[in-house]
Amino acid sequence: MKIVLDESAPQKLRLLIEGRHKVATTWFLEWSGLKNGALLAAAEEAGYDLFVTADQALPYQQNLCGRRIAVLVLSTNNWSVIQERIADITDAIESTAPGSSIFLDIGHARG
């Protein structure tokens, strides 16, 4: 599966999921600054299967109907929480289907 990580997701997440999937960041692809609609379109055109973000507003700001790319929205971008819940994240990645949108509640930063 080809996965692209949004700027809002920790870029180090790539290191945790890269073995089984081809993972790129928006920064590496030089897509930084693209707005969500243009970003999703660019990812689809480039053949990406999944877009991972921590931007919880994305599903409300973008019409995801008719998209080929799946979207996984994480409830936080806190690195320690992501590391603790990597098994849940990888399970969610494996369960995505083309055009689907999944919100994954993995908790939030601990105070």
Q: Write out pLDDT tens, residues 60-82.
A: 777 677 889 999 999 999 999 99
Region 46-51 average pLDDT: 96
User: What does the domain layout of the chain look like in residue ranges?
Assistant: 2-104
pLDDT given for residue 7 in this prediction: 93
pTM of the model: 0.91
Q: How confident is the model at residue 111 (pLDDT cuts 50, 70, 90)?
A: very low
Architecture of domain 2-104: 3-Layer(aba) Sandwich (3.40)
31 phi, psi to nearest 5 deg: -105, 10
Is the pLDDT reported for residue 110 higher than 60? no
Cβ within 8 Å of residue 3, ≥6 positions away: 17, 21, 22, 23, 24, 48, 49, 50, 51, 52, 93
